[in-house]
Structure 1
């Protein structure tokens, strides 16, 4: 016999504009902009001790990150990731996306765009 399982339907999340969003990120000096952003994906690994560890998915740029509508949501997700991490320094932080946006300037000094 064949078995077929449909994934559970979930309502689509309304995408928050980056200018209003909050992101979860951790400082990584070797990353292109110095941060790795949580992209919303994760891999769960069960350790030999029976504990579950979450390996969060990462993105290098704010525009690729999972967006949260409020600072409270981002802080709660950062706390959840830190609680399920092997890192003891609790590196994940929730911040407004605007904190990661940079002004891009041509060599002539002309402002190009605000880009993250």
Structure 2
């Protein structure tokens, strides 16, 4: 999960059929993702000291993007119903999974 970067959609598969409401799902995923991101920062932080590709500006941009995404998503979540939240979640997981499979097949089949 640290290297793949697709833990969110993977977690969604567990929550999409749960009895939790959309706020509980988002809160639980947020806690799980926070721990995961702490591990990623520790891992990639050590790589940044070795690689010039991972500059502090990349970390800064990532943090700012996370803050912006959280801020912009909160009002949208409040306007959604639990049913529409689950439908959007299923759609996003399907698209993400399909894209991952297509990318894997592309890399596997092309020399």
Q: TM-score range by the shorter chain?
A: under 0.3
Larger Rg: 1
Higher strand share goes to which structure?
1
State the TM-score, normalizing by the size of structure 2: 0.25
Higher helix share goes to which structure?
2
Higher RCO (CA 8 Å, separation ≥ 6 residues): 2
State the TM-score, normalizing by the size of structure 1: 0.25
